Every structure is written in C-alpha cells, then in structure tokens.
Amino acid sequence: MSSVPTTLSSTTVGDAGASVVFLHGLFGQGRNFTQIAKSLVPEHRSLLVDLPDHGRSAWTQRFDYPSVADLVADHLRAGFAADGPVDVVGHSMGGKVAMLLALRHPDLVDRLVVADIAPAAGGAVSEFAYLLDSLAALDLSTLARRGEADERLAGRIGDARVRGFLLQNLRADGDGFRWQANLDLLRRDLEAIGGFPDVGGATFERPVLWVAGDRSDYIRPEHGPAMRALFPRTTLVTLKGAGHWVHSEQPEAFVSVLRTFLGAG
C-alpha cells in the first residue's frame, strides 16, 4: 500500500444496538449495504466502509489483503470499535478482507460473516477482468451525459443491473466525468484481488458464518477443509435463488440469516 497514511471513508446507520461492520466487494461501496443495515435497526448499528481505492476512500499504490485489513483495523480502532470487538460482514473481496481482519486482529472481531467467497485463489477473475476492460474502454472525455455511458456499455455488458452497479463508480467532475474507483490499480492487481495470502498458521476461534448463493460456485465443497482450518467454528448457509451477490439478490433471506447469527448467544 502507499507509504502515505490512507484515509478510509465510512457511514454509520443506526445509533444504538450491537455494532456491525460491512465490507463491500470489488467495484462496490459501503452504501451498497444501506438497505441491509436499515433492516437491522434498532437492534444493530452498522458501519458501512468504503475500502481503499473504492468510493470516497483514498487511493493507494498497490493492493494486498493484509495491508487492506490493517487499514480497516486502524479505522475501527480509531472509532467504531474503540470500546470493544464488533461483528463483521464481508462480501466477495470484502469477505477476504474480513477474513484477514479476523485472523490478524482477532481482538476486533466478535462474529464474522463471509458472503459468497472462500479463503482460496480463484473465482471469476476473467469475468472481472472483462468488466474492468469494458469500463476502461469508455472514453470519458467524449461523454455528454451519464446515460450515454450506459448506452455504450450495453454492447459489451448486456445485464442492465450489472451496468448500473458498475456505473455507480462514475462521477460528474466539472464539465466532464471521472471514475471514483481506482480502475488502473484494480486492473493491474486483479490477480492479487482474486488470490488469498498465506496467513502463517493463524486461526480465528470465534463463530463464523458463510452465506453462499445456490447459483454461485464461489464456495465449493473442496474449499471446506481450508475454511475449517482457518475458522474452526464454521457454519455454511446456502440461500436459494441467489447468485454471487447474495445480499442484493435475496435481501430478505440475507437479513434473516444475519439476525439469527448475530443475535445468537
């Protein structure tokens, strides 16, 4: 990461109850979990974090999971988790950050929820490479209006929902547009984002819940041994009708699972 201290941006939802931190996936922002967080009020207050190189958080020089986890740890210690451990929910890339946070800073994490990602290399790296290439191919200097970006992307990305998700990163800037996410870094370091680092035999002994989509193959049976080795108190729940974006495709079921797990004694 950069040698200059990196500032993370975050938003709080709710003002009372048990504390929950949400960490988004690649191309995402903390606000992607706004409706989930609102559904947990008043029993929980939530912190929606923009990870480095995403949203309103600062850009860095390179991506690696231990460094990102350490940045999140510093952010939590300085505020949201200053009074003790919190629950952490992470999706995809954010799920890997959440795992590293629990393994490297176990004093900060009470319960861990990992949404549709395993502690392993792989996943749809080629798919994300295609999406990044598609965004990079847009000539922002010739965009006259925001809707034009969607029209141009439609030829490469047919799913309007995916285009809408990606284009949340497009920001008006004066008379033109710019990408809020650090696309150049994300393209360059995509292999690291798709990987999982050696954690040196660390384990996390608190409860961990994996939430998988039954239409996703990001968590497979062969991942079970690694999941249990790092996180001995592992439970896996699969949501029907959900793909990789389990929290947006089946939000009510996702909230129900969260309430049950986070509220367990």
The residues annotated with a catalytic role in the active site are 92, 184, 244
Q: Are 28 and 52 in contact (CB under 8 A)?
A: no
86-to-35, 117, 218 alpha-carbon distances in Å: 20, 21, 26
SS3 state of residue 250 = coil
Tokens of 148: 């034009």
SS3 state of residue 263 = coil
Distance CA 253, CA 263 (A): 15
Interhelix angle 93-104/65-77, rounded to 10 degrees, is 70
Please list, in sequence order, all residues whose beta carbon lies within 8 angstroms of the beta carbon of residue 173, skipping any fewer than 6 positions away: none
**Using omega within 30 degrees of 0 as the cis cutoff, is the peptide bond preceding 42 cis?**
yes
Three-class HEC string of 14-61: CCCCEEEEEECCCCCCHHHHHHHHHHHCCCEEEEEEECCCCCCCCCCC
Q: Are 173 and 76 in contact (CB under 8 A)?
A: no
Tokens of 153: 């992307």
Distance CA 78, CA 141 (A): 39
